[in-house]
Amino acid sequence: MKRVIRLVSVVATGMLLALWEGSFSALMAQSGPHLSIGPPRTNGWTQLRLAGATNVVWNLEASKDLANWKTIATLHALDFVPFWSNSSVLNFQDAAAPEFLQRFYRASAVPWTFASDWKNQIYFLFDPFASATRQDEPSLRWVKFAILTNEPTRVYYQDSSKYLFHYDFAAARLGPFKGLSREEFDRVALRTNGQQVVLGAVLFPPVSYGFLLFPLPSGKREFGIQFVGQDLYPREQIVRWFELVASSVAAVPDLRAIYMPTFEQSTVARANLDFFRALGIEVDTPARWLSGDVCYVGGWTVGQLKYFPADQIDGAYADGRLTPQDILVTDAVPAEIPVVTGIIALSPSTPNSHVAILARSYGIPFVYPARAEDRARILNLIGKEIVLQATSRSSGIAAARFSGQGPLRRDHGISGQFDALRHQILWRQGRALWTFATCDPLELSPGDCFLLRSLGRISRASLAKRQDVERGNPGSAIAPPVSA
């Protein structure tokens, strides 16, 4: 039924767009596009108001002398915007205005098309660029962005369903990075030395779906902002980026922006909580939006449960203490980890993380148990062989022991064998997303081993390596580091 509704929606949208494009000039003439300047904000940023036709892409330009014009924003005025917004009116803040003694503005519009896959402003809460979300339960969504260092007052948002990774978008749409390899892009995006672009994401709280799959607000009038980087960013720079990104999210007046640092930036955030708080910036994690366990990637696997803190994962993998056949338990998930057969995070991650997206591509189960007692039980099972089964179904959460009677083989049908263990439940919870069983002894034939046992790091390049393996060309055993 869902598939039919989506198909009808796409066809209907396409028909309406075709009809609309034919009368674009007439609509523009009737609507009378209007650009006005409001009073500046306390920080000196000019507030602009743009009104006119809908389903158009506006090109907003600025000049200091009326002779030389420069594009400062590309904005989408669409009919399918949040219920609180007027689809024919756009409000935009020019963060570069304080740099000029005088500033003139003009705007022009072209028809919106399905190829319009980037812009400089997004809507809270239901922006069309927000990542695809499961429709069987509330889930966090995101829109990824890039800030070019030579355009420090402009945020480039990408269609995050079309472009899963920053690199894919930058290589396709951002001129300075066209033709760069992933490794070359990483060097100018993830390191402060020679950095040319700052990457990040806006996180939206979970929404539930009502009648006919229409998304209903979760009641959270707030959103999160993250910045991606392998090196620590200075706190003052984080504040400037944070204010810029927050201003580019069109929202109701009382909406709050929350700084939600990635693992690599959490050290600076924790050490400067008072500094951020004094500037009115709250620091927190997506856990504030969670009501139970989280299944980032569903599936099942078998392996030995091993715990390593995030900063020790690489070393453990290098010296053989952690192998591709193991299920990793870690306190936090960094930007990249070695390929393992399963991941259990003891603190919340986000579904927009590289590890989550790549684990989804590989089918690597990835979960976060929300209850402290459940995390403690997991730590008590470190070193044991387990079966990990992760699912987004709400049938309960359980752990059971396997008696070891007879071999446990994939070709015998793991699901049936696992279901037979349910009578030995150790604990259960209301919203159930994952379950596992300890297995001693565990008998697997060589062919039962996980497909990715010969690959190195979880990265987008590994996906191509996996395809080579499936075609009979294993290639290199170690993939390059993760890209943005």
Average pLDDT over residues 203-226: 71
- Looking up tokens 């989804």 gives 360
Predicted confidence at residue 154, as pLDDT, reads 98
Calculate helix-pair angle for 354-362, 460-470, nearest 10 degrees: 10
Predicted confidence at residue 477, as pLDDT, reads 28
Residue 2 lies in a domain: no
* Maximum average pLDDT range among 47-56, 284-293, 310-319: 310-319
Residue 227 lies in a domain: yes
Residue 23 lies in a domain: no
Q: 62-66, 197-201, 396-400: which has the minimum mean pLDDT? A: 396-400
Query: Where do the H-state alpha helices sit in 180-283?
Result: 182-189, 235-247, 266-271, 273-278
Please check whether residues 301 and 432 belong to one and the same domain.
yes
Res. 432 pLDDT band, cuts 50 70 90: very low
Show the domain range for 409: 294-470
Average pLDDT over residues 368-391: 86
Q: How many angstroms separate the CA atoms of 476 and 455, rounded?
A: 8
Please check whether residues 178 and 247 belong to one and the same domain.
yes
Classified as helix, coil or strand, 160 is coil
Please check whether residues 369 and 351 belong to one and the same domain.
yes
Calculate helix-pair angle for 2-22, 24-31, nearest 10 degrees: 70
What average pLDDT does the structure give for the chain? 76
Residue 17 lies in a domain: no
Are 203 and 225 within 8 A, CB to CB? yes
* Maximum average pLDDT range among 290-299, 344-353, 446-455: 344-353
Question: What backbone phi and psi angles, to 5 degrees, belong to 59?
Answer: -110, 110
Please check whether residues 310 and 382 belong to one and the same domain.
yes
Res. 170 pLDDT band, cuts 50 70 90: very high
Q: How many angstroms separate the CA atoms of 256 and 356, rounded?
A: 26
Q: What is the pLDDT of residues 215-246, one digit of tens each?
A: 555 566 899 999 999 999 999 999 999 999 99
Predicted confidence at residue 137, as pLDDT, reads 58
Residue 405 lies in a domain: yes
Please check whether residues 314 and 450 belong to one and the same domain.
yes
Higher pLDDT, 470 or 226: 226
Average pLDDT over residues 412-416: 43
Are 369 and 331 within 8 A, CB to CB? no
Q: Are strands 397-402 and 434-439 parallel, antiparallel or unpaired?
A: parallel
pLDDT over 90 at 421, yes or no:
no
Average pLDDT over residues 170-185: 95
Q: Can you say whether residue 458 is alpha, beta or left, with left for phi > 0 and alpha for psi between -120 and 50 degrees?
A: beta
Are 340 and 324 within 8 A, CB to CB? yes
Contacts of 25 (CB under 8 A, 6+ apart): none
Q: How many angstroms separate the CA atoms of 311 and 88, rounded?
A: 49
Average pLDDT over residues 93-117: 93
Please check whether residues 92 and 64 belong to one and the same domain.
yes
Residue 26 lies in a domain: no
Please check whether residues 127 and 102 belong to one and the same domain.
no
Q: Give the residue among 10, 17, 115, 116 at the shortest CA–CA distance from 57.
A: 116
Please check whether residues 208 and 337 belong to one and the same domain.
no
Residue 426 lies in a domain: yes
Predicted confidence at residue 428, as pLDDT, reads 33
pTM of this structure: 0.75
Q: How many angstroms separate the CA atoms of 128 and 244, rounded?
A: 21
Higher pLDDT, 178 or 24: 178
Average pLDDT over residues 267-290: 94
Are 349 and 356 within 8 A, CB to CB? yes
Average pLDDT over residues 154-158: 98
Residue 338 lies in a domain: yes
Last residue of a domain, one of 91, 115, 139: 115
Higher pLDDT, 49 or 451: 49
pLDDT over 70 at 125, yes or no:
yes
pLDDT over 60 at 146, yes or no:
yes
Average pLDDT over residues 309-331: 94
Q: CA-CA distances (angstroms) from residue 214 to 3, 127, 138, 142, 450?
A: 14, 14, 12, 18, 39
pLDDT over 50 at 97, yes or no:
yes
pLDDT over 90 at 328, yes or no:
yes
Q: How many angstroms separate the CA atoms of 235 and 75, rounded?
A: 29
- Looking up tokens 């919340």 gives 348
Last residue of a domain, one of 60, 83, 115: 115
Please check whether residues 454 and 332 belong to one and the same domain.
yes
pLDDT over 50 at 122, yes or no:
yes
Please check whether residues 110 and 142 belong to one and the same domain.
no
State percent of the chain over pLDDT 70: 68
Are 400 and 377 within 8 A, CB to CB? no
- Looking up tokens 């995070």 gives 345
Q: How many angstroms separate the CA atoms of 308 and 332, rounded?
A: 10
Are 468 and 475 within 8 A, CB to CB? yes
Q: How many angstroms separate the CA atoms of 189 and 198, rounded?
A: 6
Predicted confidence at residue 78, as pLDDT, reads 80
pLDDT over 60 at 481, yes or no:
no
Predicted confidence at residue 397, as pLDDT, reads 31
Res. 461 pLDDT band, cuts 50 70 90: very low
Last residue of a domain, one of 289, 307, 342: 289
Question: Which amino acid is it at 167?
Answer: Y
Average pLDDT over residues 448-474: 34
Q: Give the residue among 315, 319, 366 at the shortest CA–CA distance from 340.
A: 366
Average pLDDT over residues 104-126: 92
State percent of the chain over pLDDT 90: 46
Per the structure, the count of domains in the chain is 3
Are 90 and 58 within 8 A, CB to CB? yes
Degrees to nearest 5, angle at CA 400 with 395 and 405: 130
Predicted confidence at residue 392, as pLDDT, reads 63
Q: Give the residue among 140, 155, 246 at the shortest CA–CA distance from 203.
A: 140
Cis peptide before 441 (omega within 30 of 0): yes
Q: How many angstroms separate the CA atoms of 255 and 166, rounded?
A: 26
Please check whether residues 135 and 277 belong to one and the same domain.
yes
For residues 149, 155, 156, 159, the Cα torsion angle rounded to the nearest 10 degrees is 140
Residue 204's DSSP bridge partners are 141
Please check whether residues 460 and 331 belong to one and the same domain.
yes
Q: Are strands 222-228 and 197-209 parallel, antiparallel or unpaired?
A: antiparallel
Predicted confidence at residue 476, as pLDDT, reads 28
Average pLDDT over residues 296-319: 90
Predicted confidence at residue 278, as pLDDT, reads 97
Query: Where do the H-state alpha helices sit in 248-349?
Result: 266-271, 273-278, 313-318
Q: How many angstroms separate the CA atoms of 202 and 236, rounded?
A: 19
